[in-house]
Structure 1
Amino acid sequence: MQLHNIDFNLLLPLRVLLEERSVSRAAERMHMSQPALSASLARLRRHFNDELLERRGNAYTLTPLAAQLLERSYSALAGLERIFLAQAEFDPTTTTREFTVVSSDYGISVLGGPLATVLTQEAPRARLRFHPITTAAVNNAPDSLRDLDGLLMPHGFITDGSHEDLFADRWVCVVAADNTVVGDRLELEQLSTLPWVYTLSGPSEYTPAAKHMQLLGVEPRVDVVTGSFLVVPALLRGSDRIALVQESLATQMGAGGGVRILEAPFDVVPLVEAFWWNPVYDRDPEHQWFRSKLHEAVTRAGLRPPRET
């Protein structure tokens, strides 16, 4: 099928219909009449030779194809928006662009707030959207970043694509504030005898610090594994568990009084958090501006420069 035979005006109704799973709600959201949107749904069904929305009792559900199309529609609309909102000279004060970043909850916690503040001050009509890290986004970069502005990720996981180092961080150990087994310092042997909360820095990757510990011959007794750094204090509470987290995030955790921060009893290689993007955006003026705001956000957050460990 050739592109000139496709009515791209159906793309937005497709996404809204699949999100709402209701012609009436989709019509209200798009400020269209129900008959007009029903006609769009009929055309979409003919085009895909699929019902897309199937009635189950009093509600509609997505067909398997519709579920795929919903995910793809986000990327397609984002790509169209990038094309038709592009400007020869970028003016942040008037842009309505949505900047999309893939990040762990760690990256969002330490940099998200300052970045949002910078954007609000200089691009008040822009929007910042964070997506959670997925295995596909990491393993298929930079192709997976073609429809995104970039990915916040430490070195060691992505080898291709353009990137800029943003800040450095240290790994520290944290225990519950009321942990009576661990004193003012951790002993190396305690790393093997006490239970652990292990965090994943990606969907299937333990943190480099945890890997480093295993290389030293320390085999921790892992009680809990989580993909979220932010839930670590809750998983430490009322237990003798230990966890390795980034110092900047541990400082936030400690401010709430739930954890104590301790130096790791072994030398840990610091992490360097970087921003990775598809090289097609190297010279994009909007993207260049956004990258400069990332560095401003790092300064605002008081994070350590990349070469300062």
Structure 2
Amino acid sequence: MGLDLNLLVSLNALLEERGVSRAAARLGLSQPTLSISLGRLRRHFGDELLVRQGNSYTLTPVAERLLESTGHALAWTDRVFDTRPTFAPETSERNFTIVMSDAQLPIFGRALADLIGYRAPHVRVSFQHSTARLIAPTLEWLPTVDAVVLPQGILTDVPHLDLYSDDWACVVSVDPTSPPGLSLQDMSERPWVMPYHPRTPVISVLHHLNQSGVEPRASIITEDFLAVPHLVVGTDRIGLMPRRVASLTATASVRVAEPPFALGRITETMWWHPVHEHDPAHRWLRSVAVEAAGTLETTDG
């Protein structure tokens, strides 16, 4: 059966919206037109894809599996047709998609967005939040984004460049009766708020803690660094964050507390799929990323 790219767009909308009417409204099509597309898709896959249950539709097991890949396929298709022999930042309307954590976004993400906005006023940047679920299968979805920012050592065998350095810091609730720093006893006995699961490769700081005789008791695990201060305030919990964002979020109620030993450095690194290596627009993005990271190091100095 002959298929075209429009059917991929229809399939993605039907699966995400789980119904013909909402998908048709999203695509600006009539319901009869989209119903014809659904019929073609059902014949192609030999599956109903959408099954009515009462007043709504549910996805079949085949449709559930397709949903995992249709968004990536569309993103990849967009990149194919966005490719140009040259890149003119002053006039380009390119959309760059970059994956990074919420600890990197207000620091490096802000600096990068400001530079792009100044150099390429019509270019748009889409920031996506990195999670533990994304980190493990990174190589599977890496071709569908322009770049991912992760600590050095998480990925291997793909192009990358080191951006800027940071270190781990502890945050605690402000208590005028407590000493300014943390003792080994504090770190061993008090509960912790840990970003990601402690065994996630991102959290290399666990090695430094263990070497110093501390086995942190993680009472709360979160994938949102910016939530850590809110989970610490008013408690005896110790939160773990990169220092730059910890300093940024410090308030009258939450402060950085120095441990009796260094928790280790972080080198934030940009990674991309080899398919982007020679794209003029991507080369420009990488050069701006290096410049944006340089402004952070200059500020530190």
Q: What aligned pairs does 1:98-109 form with structure 2 within 5 A after superposition?
A: 98-109=95-106
* Runs ≥4 residues deviating over 4 A: 134-137
Between the aligned residues of both structures, percent identity stands at: 42
TM-aligned CA distance change 1:212 to 1:202, over 3 Å: closer
TM-aligned CA distance change 1:18 to 1:217, over 3 Å: same
Identify the residue that residue 178 of structure 1 maps to in structure 2.
175
State how far apart, in whole Å, the 2-side matches of 1:202 and 1:65 are. 34
Q: What aligned pairs does 1:38-57 form with structure 2 within 5 A after superposition?
A: 38-57=35-54
Q: What aligned pairs does 1:23-38 form with structure 2 within 5 A after superposition?
A: 23-38=20-35
Displacement, 1:123? 3.0
State how far apart, in whole Å, the 2-side matches of 1:222 and 1:87 are. 49
TM-aligned CA distance change 1:27 to 1:193, over 3 Å: closer
Counterpart secondary structure, 1:161: coil
* Contact 1:166–1:295 (8 Å) recurs in 2: yes
Question: CA RMSD for the aligned pairs?
Answer: 2.5
**Unaligned stretches of 5+ residues in structure 1:** none
State how far apart, in whole Å, the 1-side matches of 2:133 and 2:157 are. 14
* Contact 1:179–1:238 (8 Å) recurs in 2: no
Q: What aligned pairs does 1:158-307 form with structure 2 within 5 A after superposition?
A: 158-178=155-175, 180=177, 182-200=178-196, 204-205=200-201, 207-254=203-250, 256-299=251-294, 302-304=295-297
* Contact 1:176–1:237 (8 Å) recurs in 2: yes
Identify the residue that residue 115 of structure 2 maps to in structure 1.
118
Counterpart secondary structure, 2:128: strand
Counterpart secondary structure, 2:125: strand
Letter in 2 for 1:290: L
State how far apart, in whole Å, the 2-side matches of 1:71 and 1:125 are. 31
State how far apart, in whole Å, the 2-side matches of 1:202 and 1:81 are. 37
State how far apart, in whole Å, the 1-side matches of 2:33 and 2:238 are. 59
Displacement, 1:202? 8.6
Displacement, 1:28? 2.7
* Contact 2:197–2:221 (8 Å) recurs in 1: no
**Unaligned stretches of 5+ residues in structure 2:** none
Counterpart secondary structure, 2:236: coil
Q: If the length of structure 2 is used for normalisation, what is the TM-score? A: 0.89
Task: Give the total of aligned pairs.
Answer: 300
* Contact 1:134–1:202 (8 Å) recurs in 2: no
Displacement, 1:137? 4.3
State how far apart, in whole Å, the 1-side matches of 2:48 and 2:133 are. 28
Q: What aligned pairs does 1:5-84 form with structure 2 within 5 A after superposition?
A: 5-84=2-81
* Contact 2:228–2:240 (8 Å) recurs in 1: no
Letter in 1 for 2:234: G
State how far apart, in whole Å, the 2-side matches of 1:223 and 1:168 are. 28
TM-aligned CA distance change 1:203 to 1:209, over 3 Å: closer
State how far apart, in whole Å, the 1-side matches of 2:56 and 2:161 are. 47
State how far apart, in whole Å, the 2-side matches of 1:210 and 1:143 are. 27
Displacement, 1:184? 1.5
Counterpart secondary structure, 1:42: helix
Counterpart secondary structure, 2:145: coil
Displacement, 1:195? 2.2
Displacement, 1:267? 2.3
Letter in 2 for 1:269: G
Q: If the length of structure 1 is used for normalisation, what is the TM-score? A: 0.87
State how far apart, in whole Å, the 2-side matches of 1:51 and 1:179 are. 64
Letter in 2 for 1:74: G
Letter in 2 for 1:276: W
Q: What aligned pairs does 1:80-95 form with structure 2 within 5 A after superposition?
A: 80-95=77-92
